[in-house]
A = this chain, B = another copy of it.
């Protein structure tokens, strides 16, 4: 029997409840497909932070880097200012492990209600490949007060005068600024991943940018995209401005096969994608470093108001679990989990409130585990 060791960070809010169901389902798949997972629990999240002051230490990160895949619940807590936990744990992990691919399938399962008219499972079936280590997520920015950082206040003034030959006085007392950057190899590797993925799908890659306005950063993205596309003549391509693609996700989701996007735009369009595939309760994601440590999670947050109620939908987390074991090499078991999720939905008897049902989180996990075991 194959043995795997998988670190698991249940995290905050509903994290522990949904992760429990995810583990249950993977364990059931293991029974059926002949593997066994030893779960190694990590306490990181809000409580741990409030008790110890530690977000996640370099030592822990080093330790985690010994494993191919981590299972993550959800991070975030209303007691702590927005961003502290998300940046201190989730984004830190994505960056530390150099998980440069954030893979988010946008797939409407059969029998799931979508808010979009006239679209069925065959119309909504694409994958978003979100760059996951660069762009505006690098966390570089700051504030400047008048007189304090002349440089940064000058920036705006210079802009106006360079553009218009005017000497507009800014009487700003204070500014906030943020920098995004993308590198040649950081852009190339994620776009290459997207093309490789498309080779095994419908051979179409859509690029997302805003090169008509953020021309420096995304003009660069376009060039890299074109360079990679030139090496994949059998794959068709198109360019989408980020504003426009939000319309097409809603109006013509059937146009898409693989969508590759810089980090921040990827964040935005995958939430919209989650909605068209039936809501956050159904949207899994993988943070992937093909040669290192990957991390799988539902793309929803920690939903603090539902904590401890055994109420929320565990399907996103269970599906993320399927992606995790696929990463470990258990492709057949992974497909079987997704099929079991599909069967649970089609039977329509055991479902949580967001899908119009009255069952608990663990009811759904139990049902999917049962289907898997053929009970």
Contact = CB atoms under 8 A, between A and B. Distances in A.
A165 B211 contact: no
Contacts of A91: 213
Interface string A259-298: 0000011011111101110011000000000000000000
A214 B141 contact: yes
A250 B249 CA distance: 11
A213 B87 contact: yes
Contacts of A171: 185
A180 B177 contact: yes
A168 B40 CA distance: 28
A173 B183 CA distance: 8
Interface string A231-265: 00000000000111011001100000000000011
A92 B170 CA distance: 17
B116 A176 contact: no
B183 A170 contact: yes
A39 interface: no
A272 B245 CA distance: 9
Contact of A83 (B82, B213, B221): B213
Looking at chain A's contact residues, is the secondary structure mostly helix, strand, loop, or mixed?
helix
B172 A141 contact: no
Contact of A216 (B177, B246, B272, B279): B177
A155 interface: yes
Given A116-B117, A179-B179, A185 B212 contact: no
Contacts of A117: 114-117
Q: Indicate the size class of the contact surface on chain A.
A: 35 or more
Given A116-B117, A212-B87, A250-B275, A181 B156 contact: yes
A170 to B, nearest CB: 7
Interface stretch (A132-140, A338-346, A359-367): A132-140
Contact of A210 (B96, B152, B242, B264): B264
Given A116-B117, A244-B271, A140 B159 contact: yes
B271 A247 contact: yes
B250 A250 contact: yes
B215 A87 contact: yes
B275 A137 contact: no
Contacts of A244: 271
A212 B82 contact: yes
A217 interface: yes
A41 interface: no
Contacts of A152: 181
A175 interface: yes
A114 B267 CA distance: 25
Interface string A204-223: 00000011111111111100
Interface of A: 58, 61, 82-83, 86-87, 91-92, 95-96, 114-118, 136-143, 152, 155-156, 159-160, 163-166, 170-186, 210-221, 242-244, 246-247, 250-251, 264-265, 267-272, 274-276, 279-280
Given A116-B117, A156-B183, 7 more contacts: A115-B251, A139-B163, A172-B183, A173-B185, A176-B221, A177-B180, A210-B264
Query: Which 3 A-B pairs rank lowest in CB-CB distance, beginning with the nearest?
Result: A141-B216, A176-B220, A243-B271
18 contacts: A61-B164, A83-B211, A87-B215, A95-B160, A115-B116, A115-B117, A139-B215, A155-B179, A172-B184, A178-B218, A179-B179, A179-B180, A213-B264, A243-B267, A246-B269, A247-B274, A247-B279, A250-B276
